[in-house]
Amino acid sequence: DVKVTQSSRYLVKRTGEKVFLECVQDMDHENMFWYRQDPGLGLRLIYFSYDVKMKEKGDIPEGYSVSREKKERFSLILESASTNQTSMYLCASSPIEEPYEQYFGPGTRLTVT
């Protein structure tokens, strides 16, 4: 059974803290993605990675960075958390071949106070 896991389901952090969200997949997928989900806005792509140490900005990369040191692990970093980063964060992975179906983790609901 394919699996994408995220390190936390719920997280509460203070403004200005550095936050790490971890994602691990066991499907040997090349592609990995970080999205944030907000009501009425759907899923918006923050960053994605198509190989180890490779990354590309998505639609809303400001305030975020990522790290992919190993194929199975993709980390999202909030350098200095702000209240407008309170959101649901979803990680996904997909193979490099079509049809590019993405497999999602359970999500991390982050609250920044």
Partner 1 sequence: AQKVTQAQTEISVVEKEDVTLDCVYETRDTTYYLFWYKQPPSGELVFLIRRNSFDEQNEISGRYSWNFQKSTSSFNFTITASQVVDSAVYFCALSEWTSNTGKLIFGQGTTLQVKP
Q: Cβ of residue 102: shortest distance to partner 1, in angstroms?
A: 6
* Residue 45 vs 77, nearer CB to partner 1: 45
CB of 77 to partner 1, least distance (A): 21
Nearer to partner 1, 45 or 52 (CB): 45
**For partner 1, the closer CB: 9 or 18:** 9
Contact 74, 91 (CB under 8 A): yes
| Contact (Cβ atoms closer than 8 angstroms) between residue 105 and residue 4 | yes
Measure the CA–CA gap between 4 and 23, rounded to whole angstroms: 7
Point out which residues bind partner 1 (CB under 8 A): 9, 31, 33, 35, 40-43, 45, 48, 50, 56, 58, 88, 90, 92, 94-96, 98-107, 109
Backbone angles phi, psi at 84, to 5 degrees: -75, 0
CB of 63 to partner 1, least distance (A): 20
In which region does residue 50 sit, left (phi positive, over 0), alpha (psi from -120 to 50) or beta (all else)?
alpha
